[in-house]
Chain A
Amino acid sequence: MTNASNANDLALLYRVGRGDRGAFSELYRLYQPRLYGYLRRLLPDPTTVEEVLDDVMLVVWKDARKFRGRSAMSTWIFGIAYRKAMTAIRSELRYQAPLDRSTDANAIADKTSPDIDWIRAALVHLSPDHRQVVELTYFSGFSYAEIAAIASCPINTVKTRMFHARRRLKVLLPALAGQAREHDREHA
Chain B
Amino acid sequence: MNTRKLMPHEEAIELLPWLINDSLSGDERDTVLDHARSCVICRRETKALENLRDSVKRVISPAPIPAPDMRNINARIDALIHRQNLGRRWLSWIAEFCVSPWRIVFVAQTVLLVVLGTAVLWPTTRNAEFTTLTQSQDLADGHYLRVVFSPDLTHARLGVLLDDLGLAIVDGPSERGVYTLATQNSMAVAERDIALTHLSNHRSVLFAQPVDLGAAP
A binds B: yes
Would you call A40 and B68 a contact (CB within 8 A)? no
**Is residue B104 within 8 Å, beta carbon to beta carbon, of the partner chain?**
no
The total of Cβ contacts below 8 Å across the A-B interface reads 104
A25 CA to B74 CA, complexed, in Å: 9
Which single residue of chain B is at the shortest CB-CB distance from A141? B21
Which residues does chain A contribute within 8 Å of B98, judged by CB atoms?
none
Would you call A143 and B65 a contact (CB within 8 A)? no
B59 to chain A, nearest CB (A): 5
Would you call A173 and B52 a contact (CB within 8 A)? yes
B126-148 vs A, Cβ < 8 Å mask (1 yes, 0 no): 00000000000000000000000
- Chain B interface residue count, CB cutoff 8 Å, equals 36
**Is residue B72 within 8 Å, beta carbon to beta carbon, of the partner chain?**
yes
Known: A28-B70, A138-B53. A146 touches B63 (CB 8 A): no
Would you call B18 and A28 a contact (CB within 8 A)? no
From 84 to 122 in chain A, residues with beta carbon under 8 angstroms from any chain B beta carbon are: 114-116, 119-120
Would you call B21 and A179 a contact (CB within 8 A)? no
Would you call A36 and B66 a contact (CB within 8 A)? yes
Would you call B17 and A137 a contact (CB within 8 A)? yes
Would you call A162 and B17 a contact (CB within 8 A)? yes
From 26 to 62 in chain B, residues with beta carbon under 8 angstroms from any chain A beta carbon are: 47-49, 51-60, 62
Which single residue of chain A is at the shortest CB-CB distance from B55? A176
Would you call A166 and B17 a contact (CB within 8 A)? yes
**Is residue A11 within 8 Å, beta carbon to beta carbon, of the partner chain?**
no
Known: A28-B73, A33-B65, A169-B52. A119 touches B22 (CB 8 A): no
Which residues does chain A contribute within 8 Å of B114, judged by CB atoms?
none
Would you call B14 and A162 a contact (CB within 8 A)? yes
Which residues does chain B contribute within 8 Å of A138, judged by CB atoms?
17, 21, 53, 56-57
Which residues does chain A contribute within 8 Å of B47, judged by CB atoms?
177
Known: A37-B65, A177-B52. A144 touches B59 (CB 8 A): no
Would you call B60 and A41 a contact (CB within 8 A)? yes
**Is residue A65 within 8 Å, beta carbon to beta carbon, of the partner chain?**
no
Which residues does chain A contribute within 8 Å of B18, judged by CB atoms?
137, 143-144
A151 to chain B, nearest CB (A): 15
Would you call A120 and B60 a contact (CB within 8 A)? yes
**Is residue B24 within 8 Å, beta carbon to beta carbon, of the partner chain?**
yes
20 new A-B pairs (CB below 8 Å) besides A119-B60, A176-B55, A183-B58? A21-B74, A28-B68, A28-B73, A32-B65, A36-B66, A50-B72, A58-B73, A58-B76, A58-B77, A138-B53, A143-B21, A143-B23, A144-B15, A144-B18, A162-B14, A162-B17, A170-B48, A173-B52, A180-B55, A183-B54
